[in-house]
């Protein structure tokens, strides 16, 4: 921890700190339970193939943001922009 964080913790009410820790723990437990209950649905949803709105290639939904940064997608966008400008 850096010194700023330590100062902030020292200034806070100890009861508030305990509440925050309790809420974090409850949130972590909730997220874990939610994932276990909906694991199949969440994993199936990630496997869905969607069309990239920028280069019109088919990619897996969970990798769409990563795909936007690939050379393949960026180059296709530049090519499409160049073609549309020179019509």
Instruction: Output the tens digit of pLDDT for each of the chain's 87 residues.
Output: 555 555 555 556 667 778 888 889 999 999 999 999 999 998 898 889 999 998 889 999 989 999 999 999 999 989 888 888 887
Q: What is the pLDDT of residue 71?
A: 93
Q: What is the pLDDT of residue 84?
A: 86
Q: What is the pLDDT of residue 5?
A: 56
Report CA Rg, the chain: 23
Q: Which one-letter DSSP state was computed for residue 70?
A: S
């Amino acid at each position: 921890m850096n010194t700023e964080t330590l100062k902030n913790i020292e200034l806070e009410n100890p009861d508030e700190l305990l509440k925050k820790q309790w809420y974090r723990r409850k949130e972590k437990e909730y997220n874990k339970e939610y994932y276990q209950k909906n694991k199949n649905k969440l994993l199936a949803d990630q496997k869905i193939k969607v069309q990239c709105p920028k280069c019109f290639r088919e990619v897996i939904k969970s990798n769409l943001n990563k795909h936007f940064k690939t050379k393949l997608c960026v180059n296709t966008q530049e090519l499409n922009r160049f073609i549309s400008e020179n019509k």
